[in-house]
Amino acid sequence: MKLFITLIILTFISLSLFLFLGRGDLTQNSKRQLSDNLEPKPYISVYSKEYNNNIVKIKDRVLLDAPVIKQFPELPRGCEVTSLAMLLQYKGINTNKMTLADKIKKNSVHLKKEGGKIFWGDPNEGFVGDMYSYKNPGYGVYHKPIKVLAEEYLPGKILDLTGRDFVELQTYLSLDIPIWIITNTTYDELPDSAFEKWYTPKGEMKITYKEHSVLITGYDDKVVYFNDPIDGMKNKFISKEKFLAAWKQMGSQAVTYLPE
C-alpha cells in the first residue's frame, strides 16, 4: 500500500514538473516571437505588378541626379513638356523641351466667355491655349497627352501612375527612376478660391491657373525633392505633407517609365 502511494506521489510530481517546464518553454517562445514581430523592418516592401512581378525595396532616402531645364523664356506655359524633357533626358533620350512642345497634342477648342461661364478645352485631351506667350490665353496639359508623347520615345515602356498612392511612386524612385507629376506653384494645398469652373465639350471641370508640373527626384522621411522648370532649381525640396497635399489636389497625376 505504501509503495502504491509512493508511486502515485512520484507520478504527480513528475507530471507537475513536465507541465511547469513546458509552460516555461512556451512562454519563452511566445516572448521571442513577440520580440521578432516588434523588431523594426529595414525597409517596406510592396508588390509592383508592372516591375516583372517583383518585390521592390522602398529606400528610406532617394536623391537622383536628373538634368534640370528651365522653361523660360521660350515656354512660359511649358512646364509640362519641360519636365518631360528632364525625364526623357535622364533616361538618355536625345530630345528637348522645344521639340516636345511642338509634338504635344494640342486642344483646338478656343476660349469663349458667355453668360458668366467659361467655355474652353480639356487638358486631358491636349494642351489648352498658348504655350509660348502670355499675350494670348493659355493653360496647360495633363497626364494623358504627356504619356502618349512619351510613348513615342519609349514605346511600351511608359507607365501612367495617376491615381496611385505615393508609396508606388517611391517604388520607382527607389529603382532610381524620376517621376513627372502635376502640382501647383505653391507646392501646397490650394483654397477653393484658387479654382474656377470650365465647361468643356465633355463636361464641367475645375481648374487653377496655379497648375504646374515638376520632376520628382527623391524623398526622405520629411521632404520631397524635385527639379523645378520655373526657376531651374535642382533638387528643390518641400515638406512631404504639403507636397503630397498639392499633388493629390491636382488628381495625383504621375508618369514615368518602366525599369529595364
- Please state the three-class secondary structure of 214-232 as a single string: EEEEEECCCEEEEEECCCC
Query: CB 141: neighbour CB atoms within 10 A?
Result: 31
CA pair distance 244, 164, nearest whole angstrom: 12
**Residue-by-residue pLDDT tens, the chain, 260 positions:** 444 444 444 444 454 444 444 433 333 333 333 333 433 333 444 445 565 667 889 999 999 999 999 999 999 999 999 999 999 999 999 999 999 999 999 999 999 999 999 999 999 999 999 999 999 999 999 999 999 999 999 999 999 999 999 999 999 999 999 999 999 999 999 999 999 999 999 999 999 999 999 999 999 999 999 999 999 999 999 999 999 999 999 999 999 999 98
Instruction: Domain 44-257: give its CATH architecture.
Output: Alpha-Beta Complex (3.90)
Residue found by looking up cell 500500500 in the block: 1
**Residue 201 neighbours by CB distance under 10 Å:** 11
The answer to whether 174 and 249 are in contact (CB under 8 A) is: no
In the chain, what are the domain boundaries? Answer: 1-39, 44-257
CA 237/CA 178 separation, integer angstroms: 14
